[in-house]
Structure 1
Amino acid sequence: MNSFNRHRICMVSDFFYPLIGGVENHIYQLSQCLIDRDHKVIVITHAYNDRVGVRYMTNGLKVYYLPFKPFYNNAILPTVFSTIPLIRSILLRERITIVHGHSSFSTLAHETMHHAKTLGIRTVFTDHSLFGFADLSSVLTNKVLQVSLADCHHIICVSHTCKENTMLRANLNSSKVSVIPNAVDASAFTPDTSLRPSSSVSDEIVIIVASRLVYRKGIDLLIGILPKILRKYPTVKFRIAGNGPKEIDIREVIEREGTEDRVALEGPVHHDQMRNFLNSGHVFLNTSLTEAFCMAIVEAAACG
């Protein structure tokens, strides 16, 4: 690739490693693919506990953990002005030519895109979730999205349904929006029935859940069906991967029902261990309310 086509790209989102999830993995994998194509890529995110400053990942991927603490649902407090000095300094120092924001929920993505536009840097935004139009949270988020994407150079959606949803929410022209479905490395997610309980030995059925344990992932639905399924089907067990504020509610249900031996809370499962985790069950369950293209479902399908 000649130098004329080489870009200096800034990926930005409140959601990145060490947090585990679809957006985080998408940003990392996309960055690695762009680095392989000879582009320069950096990532901007907020601090995670004591992880503050500059870190380097595979292939020299440079990650800026800015000294801003998450305010709500792992996103920073929206202020616009307090982030200007640091972000402006990074964008100019790294000579960024494209800023790529991820997730409608990410305050940092919207603010960095705004600062980039004042510096004449081109902006791209990827929307990963579906939203409604009626509840207060959706109304506020949609207004922010409408302002943020009004002069964004291009928007990427992960499914055709997501495109329709984003266009309605942000009042966008279809020519500004492209659909690029999420991809899964099929060589990394392959079936392995030896990891599942043998049907010839027992009638045990293991249901796998892999999700951030928050309201928008439909965890309230999961909490509602857990006791009903466990009472009706004595051979069913659950393995739940992920963490979040709803974890305590799940633990309360487990203790109330006395099913500690049938529901295992595994905590965060790293992506390199996800294949074995998915293969350890028979059924994959997703209850998300906002999923536009669930990576975990595709990975589970690839594992059979």
Structure 2
Amino acid sequence: MSRRTYNIAMVCDFFYPQPGGVESHIYQLATKLIDRGHKVIVITHAYEDRKGIRYLTNGVKVFHVPFAIIYRSSTFPTVFSFFPLFRNIMIRERIEIVHGHATMSTLCQEAILHGRTMGLRTVFTDHSLVGFTDAGSIFTNKLLKFTLSDVDHVICVSHTGKENTVLRAALDPLMVSVIPNALVSDDFKPLPRPEPSSLPFAQHPLPAHPLGPNDTLTIVVVSRLFYNKGTDLLTAAIPRILENHPNTRFIIAGSGPKAIDLQQMIEQNVLQDKVEMLGPVRHEKVRDIMVKGHIYLHPSLTEAFGTVIVEAASCGLYVVCTAVGGIPEVLPSHMTVFAKPEENDLVAATGRAIAALRANKVRTERFHEQVKAMYSWTNVAKRTERVYRGISGDISEEEFYGADDASHWSVTRGRNFALIDRLKRYYGCGVWAGKLFCLCVVIDYLIFVFCEWWWPGDQIDIARDWPRKPPASDDD
């Protein structure tokens, strides 16, 4: 039996041509949902020469809206001025579900608010971890509570991320699902290795490329060079690692404000022949960089998932990473060496990884097939589709929430769009904040009423759809 298909809008500030985990997640999820018969569009801001409407592989239609960027690719908060354009796109494309991504995305937060005002189902995927103590985190979490007070369902990429989001937005845990990131394993294959020899012990061969004590070992880093990615930690650790292990070199790919610190460290320690900085790289070139290395170093200070370490393991690299956030959930222990987010421990963990590789104790040539079996975008799309079916009422409450919890969700599951009910949900966000949020919702509703009068929906042309693929069956 074929399943119902949906018209879905993915909304986020972070999308191609900018490289990154969120960007890759949105694109891969969109293409796999299209493979299952759904219609998916992406709404993001303009990127230099990327303006207007673009079509990507598999018929992914991308709207690049002209809004100013203020910080790390996030647009300036407009709150209401995005609404008329957003409404026009929703009507033209006959969108049923608005799926926003990333806490730090202004477009995402505004789209969820406007989508609910228009009577659309909404889903939010959180890709990051945010603290609770500093002023920026407190402000961010308050805004997230505002947005998620009236969302149908929330998806997190790790169980640690789920705990963080539930606490930050004061959500019922039953309202949050965990669906991890994945990768296209065929795009991250290791270099081909020679066949093992036909000696009597070939049934248990040594790794195809054993490292000798004097062979050069390459450590790869592919990351945005920001504070939260541990660039300061990396800058402090590299000279010590190279001092302890002379036959080692680094390849660093990525850009960001902390790149200048790395360059200064290289010059001060005269490491130009030991550390190569490649600058920003396109995502399709990441595999070509990774296969040059033996170890992937990931010194992040906070991370909800860490797709790049999955890509590194798939390329056959031994992973050294900090045990923060959701990273310990991502890969099994035989593929990783964990370190505390401290300089001394990161240096020690890297030393252990180097020693293990030189002693041929790690079978990295097996990593690719193991990762391929663990992570699949097709599986992510199926699980996301199930969320869409649940919030749209196409599967029973017992099936979506579980038999034991169905009665608990009998009222809140089908969150209605009546203005008075929405205001009740927002009013509970705080003594002062609740009143402010209610005012924002009322203004948003009045703008919607004005737009419906000024430019009725039935006068907006409907866009022609890209030819759809046959809907996936229940067995697919």
Does the alignment reach a TM-score above 0.5?
Answer: yes
| Mapped partners of 2:175, 2:94: distance in 1 | 25
Are 1:294 and 2:306 counterparts? Answer: yes
The CA deviation string for residues 88-117 of structure 1, in whole angstroms up to 9 with x for no partner, is: 211121111011111111111101111111
Q: Looking at both structures, which has the greater relative contact order when contacts are Cα pairs under 8 Å and sequence separation is at least 6? A: 2
Give the match for residue 107 of structure 1.
106
How far is 1:203 from its partner?
2.5
Please show how residues 4-153 of structure 1 align to structure 2 within 5 Å.
5-153=4-152
Q: Which residue of 2 aligns with 1:209?
A: 221
Tell me how far apart the structure 1 counterparts of residues 86 and 290 of structure 2 sit (CA, whole Å). Answer: 39
Matching residue of 2:257: 245
Amino acid at match of 2:270: G
Letter in 2 for 1:265: M
Deviations 1:248-284 (A, max 9, x none): 2211221222212211112233333322321211111
Q: Do the aligned residues in 2 keep the contact of 1:110 with 1:148 (CA within 8 Å)? A: yes
Do residues 277 (structure 1) and 289 (structure 2) align?
Answer: yes
Distance in structure 1 (CA, Å) of the matches to 2:299 and 2:48? 29
Q: Say which SS state the counterpart of residue 285 (structure 1) adopts.
A: strand
CA displacement at 1:228 relative to structure 2:
2.3
> TM-score of the superposition, structure 1-length normalised?
0.93
Paired-residue identity, %: 54
- Deviation string, structure 1 residues 143-168 (Cα, Å, up to 9, x no partner): 11111111110000111111111101
Q: Distance in 1 between matches of 2:186 and 2:72?
A: 33
What is residue 423 of structure 2 aligned with on the other side?
none
Distance 2:41 2:54 in 1: 10
**Which residue of 1 is the match for residue 172 of structure 2?**
173
* Aligned 1:158-169 pairs, distance under 5 A: 158-169=157-168
The count of corresponding residues between Structure 1 and Structure 2 is: 302
Find the residue that maps to 1:248 and give its secondary structure: helix
Q: State how far apart, in whole Å, the 2-side matches of 1:214 and 1:46 are.
A: 22
Distance 1:166 1:110 in 2: 15
Cα distance in 1, alignment partners of residues 17 and 184 from structure 2:
21
- SS of equivalent to 1:50: coil
Listed as ranges, the matches of 1:226-245 within 5 Å are 226-245=238-257
More helix by share: 2
Which sits farther off after the overlay, 241-250 or 224-233?
Answer: 224-233
Task: Decide whether the 8 Å contact of 1:163 with 1:179 is kept in 2.
Answer: yes
Corresponding letter in the other structure for 1:268: P
Q: What are the Cα deviations for residues 267-303 of structure 1, in whole angstroms up to 9, with x where unaligned?
A: 2333333223212111111122221111111111122
Between the aligned partners of 2:77 and 2:209, the Cα distance in structure 1 is 48
Shift of 1:224: 1.9
Q: Distance in 1 between matches of 2:257 and 2:85?
A: 30
C-alpha spacing 1:199/1:102, structure 2 compared with 1 (3 Å): same
Query: Secondary structure of the equivalent of 2:9?
Result: strand
SS in 1 for 2:187: coil
Query: Is the contact between residue 48 and residue 69 of structure 1 (CA under 8 Å) also seen in structure 2?
Result: no
Give the superposition deviation at 1:235: 1.9
Query: Which residue of the other structure, out of 264, 267, 280, is the alignment partner of 1:268?
Result: 280
Q: Map Cα deviations across residues 182-216 of structure 1 (whole Å, 9 max, x no partner).
A: 1223333233276x998349421211111111122
Normalized per residue, the structure richer in strand is: 1
- What is the rounded CA distance, in whole Å, between the counterparts of 1:210 and 1:87 in structure 2? 35
The runs of 5 or more residues in structure 2 that have no matched partner are: 194-207, 317-476
C-alpha deviation, 1:221, in angstroms: 1.3
Stretch of structure 1 that moved more, 12-21 or 183-192? 183-192
- How far, CA to CA, are the matches of 1:5 and 1:152 in structure 2? 22
Shift of 1:132: 1.4
What CA distance in whole angstroms lies between the structure 2 residues aligned with 1:79 and 1:288?
Answer: 31
1:197, 1:204 within 8 Å by CA — same for their partners in 2? no
Q: Secondary structure at the match of 2:183?
A: coil
Task: Measure the CA separation in 2 of the matches of 1:272 and 1:102.
Answer: 22
Q: How far apart, CA to CA, are the structure 2 residues paired with 1:255 and 1:193?
A: 36
Q: Which 10-residue stretch deviates more, 47-56 or 226-235? A: 226-235
Conserved 8 A contact 1:13-1:106: yes
